[in-house]
Structure 1
Amino acid sequence: MARLRYISYSPHRCSVNTDHIVWTSVTTREGIEGLPQIIWQDSMPWREANLWAMQRATEREVCIDTVRSNMTSILMYANWLEQSKTDWWYFPVKKADRCLVRFRGHLIVQRDSGLIAPSTATQRMRDVINFYRWLRANGFLTSDWPLWKEKFVSINFTNAVGFDRTIAVQTTDLAIKNRKLNIEKLEDGLIPVSAEDRDKILEFARDNASWETYLFLMLGFYTGMRIGTLSDLKVETLRRAVPDPQSRDLYKIAIGPGARPSVKTKFGVTGFAWITKPHLELILIYVDSQQRQDRVSKAKEQNKNLVFLTRHGNPYTTGNTEKSSALNVEMHNLRKKSKATGNNFLEGFYFHRSRATFATQLAILLVPIAGVVNALAIIKDALLHKDEATSLRYIKFIERTPAKAKIANEFSRVFLSILSEGRSDDE
């Protein structure tokens, strides 16, 4: 499968001197740290896509995090191209056989089966279309017929002072509408897994995944920290963990821009994350292990203090993104191994769901003991939510779940009794 790599880009200018080319560093332009680049399965770069990312980042059209997000969509497209053995320039006369049309159908199938969110399908298709607009505008792709049909959609809205306004938005017939699925989701559109599946996932990861992946999952399930926060954890952060005054087996670690050392969090919220004593001790054992020291030896000086590094000595995430290509590859391989053994508890599971699972299990424990009001405050602090509305979703979720289970059981009982009565009448 294709991979997304992040490089340190330094602007250079080339000149031809007689029989050789000379590259000269351009000191008047700033470099870019963490520029996303796509590498095909055969280790060759996708030059057109990489040039698109470089141009947008260097010309400051958008921020680098937006470029990374767009390139994640292009990565998904590249993986589909390789799996379907399709060329990105394949646009035959028959519309149904064109690469973009087929990829659109692939996204719709994934959306309808619940593998990706409707908003994700919409965004991926939009990013791919924007990439093809750039390809045509810069002469990298020519076609004897239109790649899609352009159209304009009018959007009505009311501004801040109450006036009605209408704006025209350019779109195409390949765009995917953002139709939300009728599935109950929590923070960031996540769905938790059951405690039973959580234990199965951790046990399977312990035996079949790398030590780092297992620790990532363990911390995700039992601390609720996001991938961006876990990837930015410092060794000093763990060593400065303080025991909770009310429980000797529970520790708190400071995270956020206000912590020392600072640890990245979403929206820049500063606070404390909970971690149990056994989990903290296990992470500290890993910190001092030879396996981690081998990775530290390959890392740049500014990254040596990170708890988690890839086997090449790089951080798992770059910038403020919540996505990690290295961890995504690990999770993909873990799901394949699980499927090969006939297990389905990893089907459709992604790392981000570990956070929703932690919050849900925390709410299940707290509400009967502390009540809704106190549970709401504790959940908000434990997950560093910026507002209580997000925390309240978890409480409402666990309150509705038993009612739904009771209704389902009652429906099944009535339905089965009707079936049994029907069989008796037939006899």
Structure 2
Amino acid sequence: MATLEVIRFQRHEPNVPEGDSPDTVDWRASRADGELPTIVWASGETWSQANLWAHHLAEQRDPQTVMASMKHLASYARWLEAEGVEWWHFPEKKSERCLFKFRKALIAARDAHEIAPSTASARMAAVLRFYRWTRAADLICPGGSMWEDRELKVKTMNTFGLERTMRVITSELVIPNRKVKGGFHLEDGVLPVTEEGRRDIQAFADVHASDELSLMLAIGFGSGLRLGSLCDLKIATLEHATIDPLTGWRRMDVGPAARPPVATKLGVSGKVPIWEELRARALEYAASPRRLKRQAKAAAEHRGLLLLNRYGNPYTQGAVTTEMCRLRAKALDAGVHVFRDFYFHRSRATFATLLMRVALKVLPVGEAVDLVREACLHANADTTMDYVKFIEQSKAMRESADAFTQAFLGLSKRDVSRA
């Protein structure tokens, strides 16, 4: 199976002296070394074209964008290997072309709730960007068109009432980001777990998971932090968390504007709540011998991170996902079935749902939405409103189920009495 690996690289430039052409050329490091995601096939060979694209992106985009694009491309590479299709396979018949087959597979996975609609759209878009670049760089010669593009005219109006028309190039392979019928899902296509399920997950993780993963789950359930923010959480962030005089919660400053900065999705800055007991647990772990040994191995720029792996390096989302998969398998073997469809991001949805339920009991809907939006750093209120709709829908479904059960049992009792 194709894998996504991270390599360290350093750019070099030739140092050619003036005058006659020298016999040898000295190469000097031009910039500091950095990390570059690289796709490796199951055979051990690298996907040269994809890795060149990653290098091209690294020149223009931030590391998170490069990693996200390469993760999508790595998923495409794994699909190619599983289907036995070459990435340059573009026969005359459209349905046999690799990209059209991949699009069909993504739509099927989306409809089966295996991936979120946004993931399907983003994955297809990333793969298309890769192919557009390879075609522009003459790294692929399919002998014909790989797909058909079409031009759309989009009219926009500014605040002064002036209308503008923009030309947008789209493709027949684009997957619209539409919600799938047959289920209600929250941000990123996830659903929360019940309070009982949360307790079971945390209790099992406290015993069978590493101290780091157990703490990550506790912070995820207790503050709603995303996994990327957790991997970049600093000890100083916890130490500097201030007390909210209205609620008694602690609030952590996160985002690029925080000091120290903590990575967030889309670079949003804000204050995230954390319970005092959870903060105390995290600070206790920060001073534990286990973590201090890891800190001693870490580079200077990483020693302030709360979570370090055994080699003293920062945790990556891939490493946490791998450990979660192992914990899930162990839990299912032990009969803890709440783990079956659980993955880390559901801890965030669980926190937001619980906070919204509590807020709706004591605040008007508008103020409750503002509270949860600020706590979860949502980019827009629509994402937060989905939690209100989810709670209302869940309540209506429970009441309907109770009414149906009572009617059914009542009918059964009447039938029994008549008999």
* Bin for the TM-score computed over the shorter chain: 0.7 to 0.9
2:294–2:308 CA contact under 8 A, matched in 1: yes
1:201–1:345 CA contact under 8 A, matched in 2: yes
1:255–1:273 CA contact under 8 A, matched in 2: no
**Alpha-carbon distance in structure 2 between the residues aligned to 1:87 and 1:368:** 56
2:236 — aligned with what?
236
More displaced stretch, 148-157 vs 113-122: 148-157
Cα distance, 1:112 vs structure 2: 0.5
Alignment of 1:120-131 (within 5 A): 120-131=119-130
2:347 — aligned with what?
354
1:401 — aligned with what?
394
- Residue ranges of structure 2 left out of the alignment (5+ in a row): 17-22
- The secondary structure found in structure 2 opposite 1:169 is strand
- The secondary structure found in structure 2 opposite 1:115 is coil
1:256–1:270 CA contact under 8 A, matched in 2: yes
With over 3 angstroms needed to count, the CA separation of the structure-2 counterparts of 1:287 and 1:103, relative to structure 1, is same
- The secondary structure found in structure 2 opposite 1:35 is strand
1:191 — aligned with what?
191
The answer to whether 1:49 aligns with 2:50 is yes
* TM-score w.r.t. length of structure 1: 0.78
Cα distance, 1:287 vs structure 2: 1.9
**Alpha-carbon distance in structure 2 between the residues aligned to 1:143 and 1:287:** 55
2:102 — aligned with what?
103
**Alpha-carbon distance in structure 2 between the residues aligned to 1:389 and 1:91:** 41
- The secondary structure found in structure 2 opposite 1:345 is helix
- The secondary structure found in structure 2 opposite 1:154 is strand
1:292 — aligned with what?
291
**Alpha-carbon distance in structure 2 between the residues aligned to 1:162 and 1:413:** 60
1:321 — aligned with what?
none
With over 3 angstroms needed to count, the CA separation of the structure-2 counterparts of 1:395 and 1:87, relative to structure 1, is same
More displaced stretch, 201-210 vs 213-222: 201-210
Give the percent of matched residue pairs that are identical in Structure 1 and Structure 2.
Answer: 37
With over 3 angstroms needed to count, the CA separation of the structure-2 counterparts of 1:275 and 1:72, relative to structure 1, is same
**Alpha-carbon distance in structure 1 between the residues aligned to 2:205 and 2:43:** 28
**Alpha-carbon distance in structure 2 between the residues aligned to 1:246 and 1:2:** 51
Aligned residues: 409
- CA deviations over 1:6-60 (Å, ceiling 9, x no partner): 44542124799xxx99772253xx45744332344566543321111102322x3
1:24 — aligned with what?
27
1:308 — aligned with what?
307
With over 3 angstroms needed to count, the CA separation of the structure-2 counterparts of 1:7 and 1:303, relative to structure 1, is farther
The answer to whether 1:150 aligns with 2:148 is yes
2:19 — aligned with what?
none
**Alpha-carbon distance in structure 1 between the residues aligned to 2:65 and 2:72:** 11
**Alpha-carbon distance in structure 1 between the residues aligned to 2:290 and 2:338:** 29
- CA deviations over 1:173-220 (Å, ceiling 9, x no partner): x43333321343334554322222222332343344333222212111
With over 3 angstroms needed to count, the CA separation of the structure-2 counterparts of 1:141 and 1:345, relative to structure 1, is farther
Indicate the RMSD between aligned Cα atoms, in angstroms.
4.0
Cα distance, 1:140 vs structure 2: 3.9
Alignment of 1:237-252 (within 5 A): 237-242=237-242, 251-252=250-251
- The secondary structure found in structure 2 opposite 1:326 is helix
1:4–1:325 CA contact under 8 A, matched in 2: no
1:70 — aligned with what?
69
- CA deviations over 1:87-133 (Å, ceiling 9, x no partner): 44455777656543443232122100112122211221222133233
- The secondary structure found in structure 1 opposite 2:171 is strand
Cα distance, 1:358 vs structure 2: 0.3
**Alpha-carbon distance in structure 2 between the residues aligned to 1:150 and 1:133:** 12
- The secondary structure found in structure 2 opposite 1:262 is coil
- CA deviations over 1:136-191 (Å, ceiling 9, x no partner): 44444444565x3313153443332353736352414x433333213433345543
Q: Given the alignment, which residue of 403, 410, 418 partners 1:410?
A: 403
Cα distance, 1:303 vs structure 2: 0.9
1:273 — aligned with what?
273
* TM-score w.r.t. length of structure 2: 0.80
With over 3 angstroms needed to count, the CA separation of the structure-2 counterparts of 1:31 and 1:86, relative to structure 1, is farther
With over 3 angstroms needed to count, the CA separation of the structure-2 counterparts of 1:132 and 1:204, relative to structure 1, is farther
1:107–1:121 CA contact under 8 A, matched in 2: yes
**Alpha-carbon distance in structure 2 between the residues aligned to 1:417 and 1:153:** 62
Q: Output the amino acid matched with 2:10.
A: S
Q: Given the alignment, which residue of 352, 375, 394 partners 1:382?
A: 375
The answer to whether 1:11 aligns with 2:14 is no
1:224–1:354 CA contact under 8 A, matched in 2: yes
- The secondary structure found in structure 2 opposite 1:114 is coil
**Alpha-carbon distance in structure 2 between the residues aligned to 1:87 and 1:21:** 40
Cα distance, 1:85 vs structure 2: 5.3
1:8–1:31 CA contact under 8 A, matched in 2: no
- The secondary structure found in structure 2 opposite 1:307 is coil
More displaced stretch, 221-230 vs 381-390: 381-390
Q: Output the amino acid matched with 2:387.
A: Y
2:297–2:311 CA contact under 8 A, matched in 1: yes
Cα distance, 1:304 vs structure 2: 1.2
Q: Output the amino acid matched with 1:35.
A: L
The answer to whether 1:219 aligns with 2:222 is no
More displaced stretch, 122-131 vs 267-276: 267-276
**Alpha-carbon distance in structure 1 between the residues aligned to 2:203 and 2:86:** 40
Q: Output the amino acid matched with 2:57.
A: R
